[in-house]
Structures are given as C-alpha cells and as structure tokens.
Structure 1
C-alpha cells in the first residue's frame, strides 16, 4: 500500500530570536483568511501548534514553542494571538511528501518463499 504523496503546507515566520512554523490545511485557506478575517482559524490551521526550528529555517528540527519563547518574540504567550501574527506576516510554503511503498507484514509465514 502506498503512503505519502500528500501536500504539506506551512507558514514560516523568521523572528528576531527564533524561526517559527505553523502547519495549515492548504495555501488557499490562508490566502482567503488574509483577505477576510471572518474565516474561522479552525478552517485554516492544522493542529494548533507553534513550532520553533532553532534558527535553522523552515527545514530544521521542529520543537514545540515554549510560552517564554512566544512571549519574547511576540510580546504575548497567548498561542491564538501568536498564530494570528505568524499567519499574517509569515511566508507560505508548500511541499509534497514522496510516495513510499513498503511491505505491511513480513511475517506472513505461508506466503514467504521457502
């Protein structure tokens, strides 16, 4: 069974002290939200989690952002306000996970060649 082959969409925000990433459902929903703030964030954001990449750009290791880090960068530790700022000022990025194939159960004894 093939896995992967799906789009990954995120908004990357380069801050003064850290780089931040928020995953979103798709590019179109972010663009729509930027034009019309009445669109609920629940239809835009995927997962309600802010990640930091430790100044390694959008491709670095993603760790959850602490309240102290958010407060230092955005002046608040309220995640909703921080996500809003990241979506407004961040850079939209999209990529695609490559399709992966692999066996699902190698222990099917009778099906193994003898």
Structure 2
C-alpha cells in the first residue's frame, strides 16, 4: 500500500529576519482567494498555523511562529493579518513526495515489492 505520496502545497515568505510558511490546499483555491477576497481563508488554508524556519529556507525545520517574530516581521501579531500578507506576497511551492512502501511487520521478513 503506497504511503505519503500526496501533494503538499505551501506559501513561502522570505522575510528580513525569518522565513515563514503557511500550508494551503491547492493553487486553484489560492487563485480563487486572490481574485475574490470574499472566499473564506478556511477554504484556502490547510491548517491555521504559521511556521517559521529560522532562515533555513523552505526546507528547514518547521517551528510555530511566536507572536514576537510575527510582530518584528509584519508589524502585527494578528494571525489573520499575517496570513493574508503571506498569501499576498509569498511564493507558492508544491511538492509530491515519492511513493514509499512500508513494512507492516518486520518480524515476518521484508515486505513484498
């Protein structure tokens, strides 16, 4: 059974002091929101959390962004305003992880491939 091969879409914002990431459902939902702001952010975002990578780019370790880091970078700690700015000015990135086959019970020997 294949695992972990779903596409992952995110918005990457390279800030002056930190790099920020929010996950989005897909590019179509993002474009609908950009064209019509009456589309709720809940239809665009995949989880309501802002991540920071500590200047390690889009592939760095994802930590939750503190209110202080949001205040320093965006001038506000209001997550709705920050998410809006990231969606407006960030770079869209999408990746698809390669298909993986996992062993279900390692004591029975390797999985059939």
Shared fold by TM > 0.5? yes
Report matched runs for 1:7-86 at 5 Å. Answer: 7-86=7-86
Distance of 1:27 and 1:97 partners within structure 2: 17
Structure 1's unaligned 5+ residue stretches are 109-114
SS at match of 2:69: helix
CA shift for structure 1 position 106: 3.0
Which residue of the partner structure matches residue 106 of structure 1?
106
Gaps of 5+ in 2: 109-113
Deviation at 1:107, TM superposition (A): 4.4
Match of 2:111 in 1: none
The structure having more radius of gyration, on CA atoms, is 1
| CA distance in 1: counterparts of 2:14 and 2:90, whole angstroms | 7
Could you tell me how far apart the structure 1 residues matched to 2:106 and 2:5 are? Answer: 23
**Pairs aligned (count):** 109
TM-score under structure 2 normalisation?
A: 0.91
Distance in 1 (alpha carbons) for counterparts of 2:86 and 2:63: 16
| Cα distance in structure 1, aligned partners of 2:36 and 2:65 | 27
TM-score normalised by the chain length of structure 1: 0.90
The CA deviation at 1:16 is 1.1
